[in-house]
Structures are given as C-alpha cells and as structure tokens.
Structure 1
Amino acid sequence: MKLQSLPSVEIVSLPKPSARKETFWRRLGRQWDLQVMVLPGIILLLIFSYLPMWGVLTAFQDYDLSSGFFASPWVGLKHFQILLTDPLFLPVLKNTIVISILRLVFAFPAPIILALILNEVRLPVFKRIVQTISYLPHFMSWVIVAGLVISALSVDNGSVNMALLQLRIIHEPVNWLSIPECFWTILITTGIWKEIGFSSIIYLAAIAGVDPNLYEAADIDGAGRLRRLWHVTLPCIVPVITIFLILSVGQILNAGFEDILLLTNRGDNAILREVSDVIDTYVYRVGLTDFRYSYGVAVGLFKSIVNVIMLVVANFLARRLGETSLW
C-alpha cells in the first residue's frame, strides 16, 4: 500500500501587535471616574496646603499690613539672623527639644504597650470596655481636657490634692500648675491619657494581621505568653512601629501648642514660661500678639526646615539599619 504524501502546510507568522506605550493622558482618560473621586481632595490640598505656602515669602520681608504682600520691602535673611542671635530663642528651642524627646520616650511606646496588653486579654467584654474608655479622651477637645486637668489639680477641692491629703502624702494643698519642675510631667501624662487609646488602634490592627501559624509554631516549641510576645508579636509589628517612629522624629520640633497654651492660661502663667515656652507658643506670642509677622514666619520656617532634615535623617537610618522606611 502506497502512502500518499500530505501537502506541505506553510506556517504564516501573524504580525505582532504594536506595543505602543500608554501615555499619561491616555491613562488619565481611562481612569476618569477614579480621578473625579480624587479631585475634591486635590482641590482642598491645593487651597489649604499649597497656596498658603506663598506666605513663607514674608519671612524675607518686613511685612506690613497696610503695604500688603507685594509692596512690603525685602530684607533677605534679616529675621533669621535675629532669630539665631535672640537670647530668648535658645531656651525656647531647649524646651521644645526636651518636651519632644520626653514624648518620644514615654508617649510613643505607651499605645504599643496598651495594644500588646489588650491583645493578651481573653475576656472580649472586658477588652471592649477598656478600649472604649481609652478611646473617649481622644474625641474631647483640648479645651475640655485642660479644664479637667486644671480642676483636678486645683488647690480648692482638687481631686489630686484631696487624695494626697487623705493618704497623708502631703500636709496641705499644693498648686501643682505653679511648680515649674512638675509641668513637664503634667503635660506628658495628660497627652498620654488623651491619645493612648486612639493611637493603639493602629497597633492592634497590625497585631491582628500576624499569621496565626507563627503562634501555633511557638506553642509547639513550648513558648509561653511572654516569649510569644517577644519573639512573634513584636517582630511582626516592627515595620509599623518603625514608620511611626520616623514620622515622630520628623516632628521633633512640634512639641505641642493647644495643650501647652491652655495648661498655662493662654501663656499668661509667667511662672511656667521658662519650662513651657516652645516654638509654637513663641511664634504665637511674638508673631501674632506683638505683630511681628515676618519674624514669626521666619521662626516657623526654621522649624519646618529642621523637621524635614530630621525626617530625612531618620528615614536614612531606618533604611540602613532595617528594611522598612518611608522611601
């Protein structure tokens, strides 16, 4: 039987589709619905964050309200030279740095510790009660919080003095807000009490994302609660802690404004000024109250530049020492 040869089939290669790179405007048009959703936020950001940056130029002027922004004379770095030679600014800078460091040492780890403790609570009802109570102070304004603190520390029927008198720790009421040595403790403690619950939400969410298999493996190895906490939970939330630590270091000269201003009676408490005067209150007093607008803007610009430098340095160190950084 003779086999017939099959006809040869010619394979025709299809032309490759043109790999035309999608342009920015074409991609923008394809995502028009998403861009419309983002547009209101972009407009608000431009109006309230970028347009006011033109006011930074007044730091290089002798700004006068009657002359206006464009007619005020330019003076270059005059206000920065005054700032660096002002004998009153060095104590202000020292107070700002010390209060910020105290916040980093005591206030920053407080919500982490609370989140770790709440994660170990096995009674859901008790856990929810504690979370609710710790969240509430965050939603109160500093006006209310400062009023509560001043009332609690008052000489006349203040709860703190009454408790200390009953315990015979003191023999007569003490005006705590007139003792400079106690102000930093009152300020840091009040800030922790107000923000510890709300700040712990982020760390609780990070802990909830830890792989349960890691805990099971730790249990098999015989690890107790403390060892699981130290060897499993903490290493898993280190990236979140690092990010917020970088952001906190980047705000090293933001020692507070509302809390200090209200606890010192709008800055009129002269006894506490040597320990409570920070850059923000200094700008408020000198720039707005004394009508030295250009000098106040120069101080604020100095603070922002230092904060940016500290942010870049902290991010660089975090990237060199670990794998987590902002960029």
Structure 2
Amino acid sequence: MPVIDINTDTENLTMTVTAEFAAPIERVWHAYSDPRQLERFWGPPGWPATFHTWDHTIGGRADYSMTGPRGESSRAYWEFLTINEPHGFTVLDGFSDDQGKPNADMPAMRMEFAFEPTGDGTRMVTSSHFDSLEALQQVVDMGVIEGTRAAMSQIDAVLHDLREYAQGKGTRVEYLDDTHVSITRLVDGPRDLVWRAYTEPELIKQWMLGPDGWEMTECEVALKAGERYRNSWAPVGDTEGEPFGFEGETLLVDAPRRAVQLERMQGTDGPDILNDMNLYEEDGATLVTVLMEFPDKDTRDMILATGMADGMESSYQRLEQAVLTV
C-alpha cells in the first residue's frame, strides 16, 4: 500500500497525504504529468477518472470526470499554479458543473504535490489547503480519506512495466474491503481483440467455460445500458455437476475500455453481484481488471470459496488462444 499516512489538521486547515513508491522520482513525475497514466489511479476503484483537457503549463487547466459503475458522474478541474519538474507542482483543485465551470457550492482547495528521492524509491507528500473548517470537513465527509487510499492502491501497476508487473502471475484476487474484490489478469493480446472476446457470442463460447469438461449452452449478450444478458453452462460427458447459468443487466458500456453489469444466478431473486470490468493495453498486452461488489461479506466469501478464481484462470488461458486466433 503506497499511502503510509493521511493527516487532517483542523487548526491549520490542511490535509496531508504521505506515500512511498518503489520507483525513481522521474518515473513518479511522469505518472502524474501524463493524463493517460493519471487516469489509471486518480479515481478510486469503481470511479475511474477521465481527463478531457490537459494544459500542463502554469496557468493551464485540466478538466476531468470520475464515472461510477451505474453511470454517476462527478466533474472537477485542476488549475496549475506552479510546476517544478520533477520535484512537484501545485494546483487549485475544485469541482465543476457539466459545462466545466467551477461549482461554487462545493469546496475548492490548493494542493501541493512534492516528490523527493529516497534510498530505494520516491516519497510523495501532498498537502491540501482549505479556506475554512467547513470546507475541510465537507471533503472528509465525502469519503476522500478512504477514496485516496483506495485510489493510490492502483499506482503500483502504473509505475512498473505492465508485463513485468503482471505477466505469468495468473489470475490475482485482492480483497479491498468486506464487499469489494479486485481480480486482475494480464492477457497477451491487444485491447480491441480482448473486448471482442468479451462481447461477441461466437468468441465468448470458445473461452468462458471455467474448468475443463463444461460447455456454454446459451450466450445472450447485452451491449447497451439497460439491456439484459443471459449465459448458461452444462457438463459434458462424464463431468459431474448440474447445469447452471447467470443473468443480469448491463449498467454501463464504454467500448473498448469498460463494461459494468449486474449478475445473479438464474432462477433466483438474488443477490445481485456488480461486475465492473476495465481493460488497459500496454505494449500489445491487456490488463483485465474486474471489480466485484457484493452485498455483504458472507456473500463475498461464499462465492469466492466456490473456486471462482481457478475457473477464471482456466477461462483466461483459453481467452489468450481465442484472442490470438481471431
């Protein structure tokens, strides 16, 4: 976890975040000065950021939004006040409306990013300065402390070469909290083809099979928000098990980057599981990240105990073959 401390000072009206990275200062600077890399960790899991404008000059402005799994959107901006490559920069950070104009009803703050080399990496100290105690408290009440920790947990994958970070490590499951799990798998193929493998029935049937001995008997895709989908599986030959399936609703589609769906077991009234799938490509390989949201800890533990991750790994191995042969 890169974040080692978050401190709020109600007397001086500041919030200070201290983090340490196993990467040189120039690499950390690049992650914070390239909007495409910044997008990968500035928003917390489930609320990825998209930078719509980026003028990285003193007096310049960056406009961005964060989009939730059900299509909710929050817009904000940075105005660059100082830039001192690679040691830091200062911005005025505030919320904006749908037209990009500052939202006077929401707090704004001056944020100072300071980077310094350490013996084995880089330390970052971010100091946010508020105009009033009410503004500081409003941001805290919005969950910025928890959101910052969750967002920064994603930066390790950004600071390292993607293949170095994930190749050969299989399907990895990370418990984020009692109701959220992040599942990652590097697929050796470009994002456009991985997206096709996730959205075209003839390809889905080639790889989304779980362990050996199962076949997909039904595959109805939903490629627009509000549409419903349905997938079914059955054992083949001497394989033990009963046919089963999942059905649900697509909540958000941002092709070929992101798809969010609600899922439940066929023939039941729930519970619904939210699957937020994101694809990121680097050097011809695609990192698949699935954020799963469960209604409670018991449901999380019950589903993961079924061997879901092992089944996903078997499927991802087939996916690589399906992608490479498209």
* Bigger fraction of residues in strand: 2
TM-score, normalisation: structure 2:
0.25
User: Which is greater in Rg?
Assistant: 1
TM-score, normalisation: structure 1:
0.25
Tell me: higher relative CO, structure 1 or 2? Use CA pairs within 8 A at least 6 residues apart: 1
* Bigger fraction of residues in helix: 1
